[in-house]
Amino acid sequence: MPMLVTSIMAKSNHSFGRNLRRKQPSDTSHQRTLRYKPSLYVPYGCHPYPAVQADGSVSAGLKGSGPDGGECGGSALGSQVYYRSDWYRNKWAIMYAWYLPKAGPHSINSATSGKQQ
């Protein structure tokens, strides 16, 4: 049976996000996660912005209307990389994520295949 989960959170404009101060690595796994943090190349479309603010509010994102790129070339305040890591089948796995306020099929295809549609 499908379940709908909602939460009441304060939302802020996507362009006003500020980076949260990074905590010092407290253990080896945290140090390795930061060491292997990949770079993100965005040839077209929205660039990453911080999704969570220091006060706990989250970005409201951008409306689906308007240009595919959303006219969001990146925050002058920087962005955030979110990650989780854990052991899986005797291997250390790290998952990284970035928040892009607007993404559509065109921008995703262009970024992954290098082809313009």
Where do the domains of the chain lie?
A: 26-110
The pLDDT score that the predictor gives to residue 109 is: 45
Rounded CA gap, 68 and 103, in Å?
A: 7
The pLDDT score that the predictor gives to residue 6 is: 40
For 92, other C-beta atoms within 10 Å of its C-beta total 12
The pLDDT score that the predictor gives to residue 59 is: 73
pTM for this prediction: 0.53
Spell out the per-residue pLDDT of the chain, length 117, in tens. Answer: 444 434 444 445 545 555 555 566 667 777 777 777 777 777 777 777 777 777 777 777 777 677 766 677 776 666 777 788 888 899 988 888 887 777 655 544 444 444 443
The pLDDT score that the predictor gives to residue 89 is: 93
The pLDDT score that the predictor gives to residue 18 is: 53
Closest residue by Cα to residue 87 from 95, 75, 97:
95
In angstroms, the first-to-last Cα distance of the chain is: 38
